[in-house]
């Protein structure tokens, strides 16, 4: 059979790619913006606050990193958990960090968790094109947790969750949360919640990072994906 006849048979019998297939290939492109479509959370315990997040970043269906640190230090007593566009959230966190630290230096005061949250809230509210959902938590005169959702809504609570994986664990967190947990209990609470989100949300994955923030300072924790999923 000649080559031209063979190509003609392929044209006749191979169906064209449907729109869903084409769209899936476009989503695979590594030219897409890097996203921290993710699971982030923060919870108060008896001496401070504990923040946690998974470690996956992705570009479409491509996993660009399994070890991303989504817990960004704003000051010695404040941390920001980031979800959404990696570029947008990094830029917001860096701006909040600079403003908070400058204000603290001028006023000679411990940085305020609420002030940091309000700065982030104003940025997100006034720039609706930004794809950013943040949790800002820390310890000034007491432990505080603020959630800033897409669009700039801000809420304060004893525990907060965010990111694409949060939809799978609201009921679990409602069931497991209790007041005045010890640090060990809070770590287990966050670990169990994020692990459950990782199992169901394809935008969350990798390992788990945490940070406890109290009057004594900050301590970081890391739990590898191999251990939490086995």
CA distance 125 to 2: 65
Q: What's the burial of 224, exposed, middle or buried (CB within 10 Å: 0-12/13-18/19+)?
A: middle
Say if residue 13's pLDDT is above 60: no
pLDDT at residue 23, as a whole number: 44
Number of helical H runs and strand E runs in the chain: 7, 12
Say if residue 8's pLDDT is above 50: no
Best CA proximity match to 56, nearest among 96, 86, 92: 86
Say if residue 213's pLDDT is above 60: yes
Q: What's the burial of 13, exposed, middle or buried (CB within 10 Å: 0-12/13-18/19+)?
A: exposed
Domain 33-228 CATH (choose: 3.10.110.10, 3.90.1150.10, 3.60.20.10, 3.40.50.20): 3.60.20.10
Which of 10-24, 91-105, 182-196 has the least mean pLDDT? 10-24
16 pLDDT tier (thresholds 50, 70, 90): very low
Q: Would you say 140 and 181 are in contact if contact means Cβ atoms under 8 Å apart?
A: no
Annotation says 141 is catalytic:
no
Exposure of 55 in the CB half-sphere (CA atoms within 13 A): 18
CA distance 131 to 129: 6
Catalytic residue among 36, 38, 72, 89: 38
CA atoms 136, 199, 221, 190: torsion sign:
positive
Reported in sequence order, the residue ranges of 25-109 that DSSP labels E, i.e. its strands, are 40-45, 48-54, 57-59, 62-65, 71-75, 78-84
| Cα angle for residues 77, 54, 182 (degrees, 5° grid) | 50
pTM for the predicted model, two decimal places: 0.83
Q: Would you say 204 and 39 are in contact if contact means Cβ atoms under 8 Å apart?
A: yes
Best CA proximity match to 51, nearest among 164, 163, 206: 163
């Amino acid at each position: 059979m000649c080559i031209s006849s063979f190509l003609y048979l392929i044209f006749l019998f191979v169906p064209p790619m449907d729109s869903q297939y084409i769209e899936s290939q476009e989503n695979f492109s590594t030219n897409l913006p890097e996203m921290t479509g993710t699971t982030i959370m923060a919870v108060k315990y008896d001496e401070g606050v504990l923040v946690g997040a998974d470690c996956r970043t992705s570009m479409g269906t491509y996993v660009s990193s399994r070890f991303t640190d989504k817990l960004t230090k704003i000051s010695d007593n404040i941390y920001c958990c980031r979800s959404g566009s990696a570029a947008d959230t990094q830029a917001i966190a860096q701006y909040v960090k600079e403003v908070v630290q400058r204000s603290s230096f001028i006023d000679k005061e411990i940085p305020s968790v609420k002030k940091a949250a309000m700065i982030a809230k104003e940025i997100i509210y006034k720039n609706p094109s930004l794809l950013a959902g943040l949790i800002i938590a820390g310890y000034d005169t007491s432990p505080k947790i603020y959630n800033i959702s897409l669009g700039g809504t801000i809420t304060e609570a004893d525990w907060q969750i965010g990111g694409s994986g949060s939809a799978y664990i609201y009921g679990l967190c409602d069931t497991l949360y209790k007041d005045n947990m010890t640090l060990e209990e809070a770590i287990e609470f966050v670990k169990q919640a994020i692990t459950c989100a990782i199992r169901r949300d394809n935008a969350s994955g990798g390992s788990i990072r945490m940070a406890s923030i109290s009057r004594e300072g900050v301590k970081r924790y890391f739990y590898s994906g191999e251990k939490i999923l086995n």
